[in-house]
Amino acid sequence: MGRTVPTARAVLRPVVEGILRMSEMLPEEERRAALHILESGKRRVPEASFGGLDSQFSFLLSVLIDLERRVRQLEAARDAGERHR
């Protein structure tokens, strides 16, 4: 008896392939950004399998989590720099 529900990786494969094809047509800086976003989205695929959320939504949520984390790091660094003035 085979698996009837596709894995999160299987569902995301067309999204990943589309981003890779698109990134080939972008200028170098934007291509690197697109590939970084792709890695951000793929980073939490295992959690998406257990979360019960749509895989594509989980991919986007993963990107947003990564962006939020980086914004907080930048804000903390900025605030630390302002305290040292």
User: If you average pLDDT over every residue of the chain, what do you get?
Assistant: 88
- pTM of structure: 0.75
Each domain of the chain, given as residue ranges in start order, spans 8-83
Query: Per-residue pLDDT tens for 21-61?
Result: 999 999 999 999 999 999 998 888 777 777 778 888 888 99
Amino acid at the residue 36: H
> For residue 9, what are the contacts with CB-CB under 8 A and spacing of at least 6?
45
